[in-house]
Amino acid sequence: MPMGRWEPNARDRLAQAAMTLFQEHGYDRTTVEDIAARAGLTERTFFRYFTDKKEVLFGGSDALHERIVTTIAEAPQGTAPLDAVAAALEAMTPFFKDRRDHVRARQTLLAAHAELRERELIKLASMASAAADTLRKRGVTEPTASLAAEAGIAVFKVAFERWLEDPKAQDLSRHIQLGLDELRAVTASTGTVPPATPPQRPARPAKASRR
Amino acid sequence: MPMGRWEPNARDRLAQAAMTLFQEHGYDRTTVEDIAARAGLTERTFFRYFTDKKEVLFGGSDALHERIVTTIAEAPQGTAPLDAVAAALEAMTPFFKDRRDHVRARQTLLAAHAELRERELIKLASMASAAADTLRKRGVTEPTASLAAEAGIAVFKVAFERWLEDPKAQDLSRHIQLGLDELRAVTASTGTVPPATPPQRPARPAKASRR
DNA sequence: AGTAGTGATGTCAGTAGCTGACATCAAGGG
DNA sequence: CCCTTGATGTCAGCTACTGACATCACTACT
């Protein structure tokens, strides 16, 4: 069984080399050439696999993207938009399960580099947009589709962050559920008519005010 | 009254020069040197005012940021989190009023350049984060604060987009109001129980490759 | 077998975004 | 009148990224 002319999995090798070097020497003190060299390739080849130096940290995002779309597309007839989105968020969790440490290391990098956070945000936005598209194909109209999708991503962002920090290490899935509940609570009973009964959590007892 | 040694408003001149050149020749065929030259300055000086070539398109964002924070901080005691955020969104609208054409031209640029959209997204995220901080100072706990803030930004994104496309040219303010209402509708009455009546017909699950 | 094609990679040269270090020079204060 | 200061200019350099072209093992077809 002759091996190919080149070592296989160039893409993965590059991604791994990058992650290692970023952690060892920091993001900006690692040049693309360094990464390529460590993977046994050249800079030019790196840019054939990744459009960007940043992109090397976002390998799994296509798979996530697809998972979201198919999950929403396959939701049972009559599922409410936000429930379809919730199902999609749920369907994302396996990608992170048992990888909390790895994910956390990645987040540390993102926290230190705005350019990387920018990339993360546009990936999330692109997922929201795809989710909205899919909802629209199911007959959901605007602005409902976009709002359900964007709200879902908002929940995911918050849940994800809390999952990473959770000392009790509860499932991401659990945090998503909590986030959704909290979103419903936050949007319920507000607007022009204040609730008769104060919600929960009065840090400072205050008189009800209207707007 | 002798003028200063240099023409005043270097920053504004740079921003204007950039906008003009971007529209005339496109974003990436305009070099920073071009921009600086048109403003009667040098490339080096450009980078003293803007960290980035991209940043030159995001001049007003600090003012917006501040407006959000102060509006939330000054909301009456007892205002529900989402209502405080809604007030902040409302307070942003004057920045755009009567500038729809200019804003639209800017959006055209963003639409064509992912790097610019990334920057826009991180600005919005930073506003959400600031809004959440301010809510927290008012005694709102996590994850309520973050969710209210992120949901608010989600509403703003959708409202903003619809405002730009609205053939009836209704106020941004109006679109925000509609967005908030729709958000409340989307999050209400959902959860585990789907509605009895199915919505409209979905399109056939089609093969679509994104990205 | 011989040959032509294909695909992943390498080589090279060039552009432009961005930075650090240092120079300049008018305005204002003492 | 000198000294400081702040906005700008000059210069050199790094590196992310791109286009054009070369290479060369492997494949497929004749």
Each of the 211 residues of chain B gets a pLDDT tens digit; together they read 445 677 779 999 999 999 999 999 999 999 999 999 999 999 999 999 999 999 999 999 999 999 999 999 999 988 999 999 999 999 999 999 999 999 999 999 999 999 999 999 999 999 999 999 999 999 999 999 999 999 999 999 999 999 999 999 899 999 999 999 999 999 986 665 544 554 444 444 333 333 3
Which two three-digit tokens encode residue A143?
Answer: 């602005």
Provide the 10 A C-beta neighbour count for residue B165: 11
CB contact under 8 A, A206 and B81: no
Q: Looking at residue A26, what DSSP letter applies? A: -
- Report domain extents, chain B: 10-56, 58-186
Q: Give me the numbers of helices (H) and strands (E) for chain B, helices first please.
A: 9, 0
pLDDT at residue A157, as a whole number: 97
CA-to-CA separations, B89 to A22, A199, B93, B149, B150, in angstroms, rounded: 38, 23, 7, 10, 12
The third-level CATH classification (topology) of the domain covering A58-186 is Tetracycline Repressor; domain 2 (1.10.357)
**Amino acid of residue A174:** R
What is the structure's pLDDT at A5? 72
Residue B153 tokens, joined: 């930004």
**Strand C atom within 7 Å of A29 CB:** no
pLDDT score, position A69: 97
Nearest to A211 among B83, B141, B153 (CB): B83
Q: Which stretches in chain A have pLDDT values below 50?
A: 1-2, 193-211
How far in angstroms lies nucleotide D23's C1' from the CA of residue A122?
38
Please give the C-alpha separations between residue B173 and each of A62, A120, B86, B87, B100, in angstroms, as whole numbers: 36, 29, 10, 10, 13
Q: What is the DSSP letter of B54?
A: G
Taking the C-alpha atoms of residue B159 and residue B47, their distance in angstroms, rounded to an integer, is 33
Indicate yes or no: CB of A82 within 8 angstroms of CB of B117: no
Residue the block writes with tokens 């699950």: B205
Instruction: Assess whether A48 (CB) lies less than 7 A from strand C.
Output: yes
- What's the CA gap between B87 and B81, in Å, rounded? 10
Indicate yes or no: CB of A188 within 8 angstroms of CB of B186: no
What is the torsional sign of CA A197, A201, A206, A210? negative
State which amino acid sits at residue A99.
R
Q: How far is the C-alpha of A156 from the C-alpha of B103, rounded, in Å?
A: 30
**Topology of B10-56 in CATH?**
Arc Repressor Mutant, subunit A (1.10.10)
Distance CA B127, CA B135 (A): 12
Q: Which of B121, B148, B159 sits opposite A118 (nearest CB)?
A: B121
Q: How close A47 comes to chain B (CA, Å)?
A: 17
Asked if A136 and A145 count as a contact pair (C-beta separation under 8 A), the reply is: yes
First to last CA, chain A: 75
CB contact at 8 A, A98 and A39: no
Which of A190, A197, A201, A204 is the best mutation test for B, with the most CBs of B within 10 A?
A190
How would CATH label the architecture of A10-53?
A: Orthogonal Bundle (1.10)
Q: Quick check: A8 CB within 7 A of strand D?
A: no
